[in-house]
Amino acid sequence: MPINQLLEGKSFDPKTLECISKAFDDACRDLGLSVQGDYRREGVARKIIELVEQGECDAEELRERTVKAFRH
């Protein structure tokens, strides 16, 4: 599932969307989730969106916290 589908109905400014996209791509790469159909990519996307909704807006921090959540 592309991250764009999970963003439907949510309103983020362009800078935040860029941050989300970068964090998602980087976290998926770090976790070895390169296949589009990998169901775990949806979990990564949901975690990043959750963190953004909690106020985090730094792509590197989003990536780091998401990778950490999936490795533990």
Angstrom distance (rounded) from CA 55 to CA 1: 24
First to last CA, the chain: 23
Res 8: pLDDT: 67
Q: Which residues, other chains included, contact 64 with Cβ-Cβ below 8 Å and sequence gap of 6+?
A: none
Res 11: pLDDT: 77
Mean per-residue pLDDT pooled into runs of 10, the chain (72 residues): 65 87 94 81 91 94 96 82
Res 2: pLDDT: 60
Res 52: pLDDT: 94
Q: pTM of the prediction?
A: 0.84
Res 48: pLDDT: 94
